[in-house]
Amino acid sequence: MTATALTQQAAPAVARSGPRNSWAAVLALAAFEARRLLLRLPVLLAFALHVTWIVWRTLQPRDDYPVLQDADRATQGGPLLVGLAVLLCANRAVLRSTRRDTERHFAVLTLGVWRRTAAHALSVVPLALLTAVAVTAQFTWEALKSGAVGRGSVAELLTGPLAVLLFGAVGVLLARLVTSAVAAPLLVVVFLLLFVGGAFPSSGQETGAVWLDPVVTTAGAHPYPSDLLGRPAGWHALYLAGLALTAALLAVLVSGGRRSRAVQAAFAGALTLAVLGGVVQTGGVPARTVEARVRASVAPEKEQRCVRRGQVRYCAFSEWLPRVAGWARVADRVQALAGGPARGRDLLVRQRVDVRGGLLDDAALAPSTRPGQVTVGTSWGGNRVPEFSTAVAGVLVAGDEKAASVVCDGRMVTVMWLSLAWQSDPESALRGVRLDDSLTGSAIVVSRTEPLLMTAGQTKVVRALFDRPFYGVAARVKAHWAELTTPGVTTVRAAELLGVRASVGADRCAR
């Protein structure tokens, strides 16, 4: 037979496609996978729900004007849903070549498995960026609302997008550890069960293990100055970033990247970040913050700035100074209705908080015994407005908050009329300021300090006054101011002085 011999000469490779670069290919693959991730139905649905939630929440009429150091935290819940969808879809994308039996083919292509894993991990980044856009829009919307005060934290705003990054990286890692397509949905179900079932340590805690959760949205009982929050948001962001990087780099390592020293070093760095952030954030409220909380609670005058408007001096934590105009509108209206010396009396409106027991402590503030001092809280808008006007009226009538809190006679009629009569819908304001939202019978009147009590008779008289011409009642208040504000004046007498016939019967406070 004949045989064939070939001349020994190396032939050049055909190179139509130009120079090649593995890391550029990783980025190109990440962009490819990101486009596909963005078009997955669960991700689209999650984003649609997130945006719908943001719009619904922002447009909903709310009692309180935004406090931005709380509004930033409120952006963290929605991204969890996006994160779970990303976890599912990223996991599925990694498993695609195994499920569709293309791995045998792809294994001989230039871009190795670990680089493909890195691309999958990077493909989650655009989704985290989109989440960041949604979060920024939500926060900006809140910040632009009238009456918004305070300042947001970048670290708090980063938490949602970082959680999406973390969930995506976990999806990629899971696919590299378990090739079953059922594992990720199971993990999502377990997560939801734990979350809905309250098994996460986040419920009702401010410090400690709660910070190991991806997001910690625990809201304080009231808004507080940023300096008093003591939320380790920066460390938490570092912890989340470290965890996301650790999961992504672990996925790269287990898929063959362990020979790359750069990957090993990056993994060690990421793990260090996660551990550092995790340890520091769970260390509790820093001593400096605890001291600041005590100072702000016990001696707020040392922490506040004051401005004078007419007869009233307003002292508030600096973040709330933009609210002075709102407070002044209320205080001026109430004081304008008062008679006698109260009309020209100097008042001090002092913003007070008591955060010594932690952010979640909802104990009422002790009423001030200082004559002419009115306490204002950190919330504003809705029912907080008649609460404040009641506090101003109480001090004008009784002299100080402590004395106002124990008023149990006809003076209460004057207090409530001063507080509510000038408002556009006094009855609605009365309902709003009463704890049980009632318009009849006795009720507790909500206050930032000690609550006041209205008897059924006083309620009847006050409502009857609302039906009378405003200026007529106002003239009677001024004319009979001295008697109306005398301790021990009965409700019946107050009604008579104000020109109202009301059958009030035995009218006793039930303290």
Partner 1 sequence: MTTVSAAVTVSASGLTLRYGATRALDDVSLRLGRGVTGLLGPNGAGKTTLLRVLATSVPAASGAFTVLGHDPASAHGRQEVRRALGYLPQTPGFHPDFTPFEFVDYVAILKELTDRAARHREVRRVLDEVGLAEVRGKRIKKLSGGMRQRVALAAALVGDPGFLVLDEPTVGLDPEQRMRFRELIAQAGEGRTVLLSTHQTEDVAMLCHRVLVMAGGRVRFDGTPAELAARAAGRVWRSTARDPGAKAGWRTGTGGYRNVGDPPEGADLLEPTLEDGYLLTLDGDRGDRGDRGDRGDHGDRAEATA
Nearer residue to partner 1 within complex by CB, 8 or 440 = 8
Q: Which of 41, 60, 61, 100 binds partner 1 (CB under 8 A)?
A: 100
Residue 333 binds to partner 1 (criterion: CB under 8 A): no
Find the DSSP H helices in 255-353: 261-281, 287-298, 324-337
Residue 9 binds to partner 1 (criterion: CB under 8 A): yes
Find the DSSP H helices in 39-124: 41-59, 68-71, 78-99, 103-106, 113-123
Burial of 101 (0-12, 13-18, 19+ CB in 10 A): exposed
Residue 205 binds to partner 1 (criterion: CB under 8 A): no
Taking contact as CB under 8 A, which single stretch among the options 2-10, 275-283, 381-389, 503-511 is the one that binds partner 1?
Answer: 2-10
Find the binding residues for partner 1 in span 15-44 (CB under 8 A).
15-18, 20-22, 24-25, 27-29, 32
Neighbouring residues of 339: CB distance < 8 A, sequence distance ≥ 6: 477, 478, 479, 480, 481, 482, 484
Q: How far is the CB of 168 from partner 1 (least distance, A)?
A: 19
Please spell the DSSP secondary structure of 121-160, one letter per residue: HHHTHHHHHHHHHHHHHHHHHHHHSTT-BS---HHHHHHH
Beta strands 347-351 and 443-445 are: unpaired
Taking contact as CB under 8 A, which single stretch among the options 98-106, 385-393, 442-450, 500-508 is the one that binds partner 1?
Answer: 98-106
What whole-number distance in Å separates Cα of residue 12 and Cα of residue 161? 48
Q: How far is the CB of 108 from partner 1 (least distance, A)?
A: 5
Nearer residue to partner 1 within complex by CB, 14 or 506 = 14
Please report, to the nearest 10 degrees, the dihedral formed by the alpha carbons of residues 204, 375, 404, 453 taken in order. -30
What whole-number distance in Å separates Cα of residue 14 and Cα of residue 23? 22
Residue 60 binds to partner 1 (criterion: CB under 8 A): no
The residues with which 351 forms a beta bridge, in sequence order, are 376
Q: How far is the CB of 22 from partner 1 (least distance, A)?
A: 6
Q: Which of 53, 58, 77, 96 binds partner 1 (CB under 8 A)?
A: 96
Taking contact as CB under 8 A, which single stretch among the options 51-59, 105-113, 351-359, 503-511 is the one that binds partner 1?
Answer: 105-113
Nearer residue to partner 1 within complex by CB, 15 or 182 = 15
Within a 10 A sphere around the Cβ of 140, how many other Cβ atoms? 11
Are the C-beta atoms of 159 and 126 separated by less than 8 Å? no
Task: Build a one-symbol-per-residue string for 114-153: x at contacts with partner 1 by CB under 8 A, - elsewhere.
Answer: --x-------------------------------------
Residue 101 binds to partner 1 (criterion: CB under 8 A): yes
Tokens coding 152:
């947001």
Q: How far is the CB of 9 from partner 1 (least distance, A)?
A: 4
Q: How far is the CB of 218 from partner 1 (least distance, A)?
A: 41
Chain contacts with partner 1 (rule: CB under 8 A) = 1-18, 20-22, 24-25, 27-29, 32, 96-97, 100-111, 116
